[in-house]
Amino acid sequence: MHIASTGTGPVILFLHGFPELWYSWRHQLLSLSSVGYRCIAPDLRDYGDSDAPRSVSEYTGPDRVKALVRTSVPLLPRNPTWELMAPWTGSPITVPAKFIVGDLDLLYNIPGLKDHIHNGGFKKMYPFWKRWL
């Protein structure tokens, strides 16, 4: 697995989306490491310089985090083909959470998403969610 890492101190883990790489976070890595954080951004499995395990049983991930910040892409309920996430179906995110999105973001303007965010759906999934728009 390819991992970009810089700085020392409390860890911030940056995870890219499709079809990006660790490089998407290059500016944030440098900025936050300069103020006392250890910033880590992997190329996720089968992206960039990271290989993909052959078997689902070889996939693992962090079991504990102190907080979660999502940008642009909200957490949505699990799709039944997402086999690895099956044990967490219906489980809320129980750490402090932030969701950052712009009013003109394409994903924010998908039909039904604003209603999901502002009228209770998000609060069920993120009990400690704080709104950032």
* Mean pLDDT, rounded, of the chain: 85
Q: What would the mean pLDDT of 72-86 be, rounded to a whole number?
A: 75
Q: How far apart are CA 132 and CA 102, in angstroms?
A: 9
The number of helices, as runs of H, and strands, as runs of E, in the chain is 3, 6
pLDDT digits (tens, 9 = 90+) for 107-122: 888 898 888 888 888 8
**Which residues partner with 131 through β-bridges?**
99
Cα distance from N-terminal residue to C-terminal residue, the chain: 34
Domain ranges of the chain: 1-51, 66-77+91-133
% of residues, the chain, pLDDT over 70: 92
Contacts 24+ apart (CB under 8 A), 17-25: 17/73, 19/47, 20/47, 21/47, 21/48, 22/48, 23/48
Question: What's the pLDDT score for residue 28?
Answer: 95
> Is 20's pLDDT higher than 80?
yes
Give the model's pLDDT for residue 12. Answer: 94
- The one-character DSSP state at 78 is P
The 10 Å Cβ neighbour count of residue 105 is 15
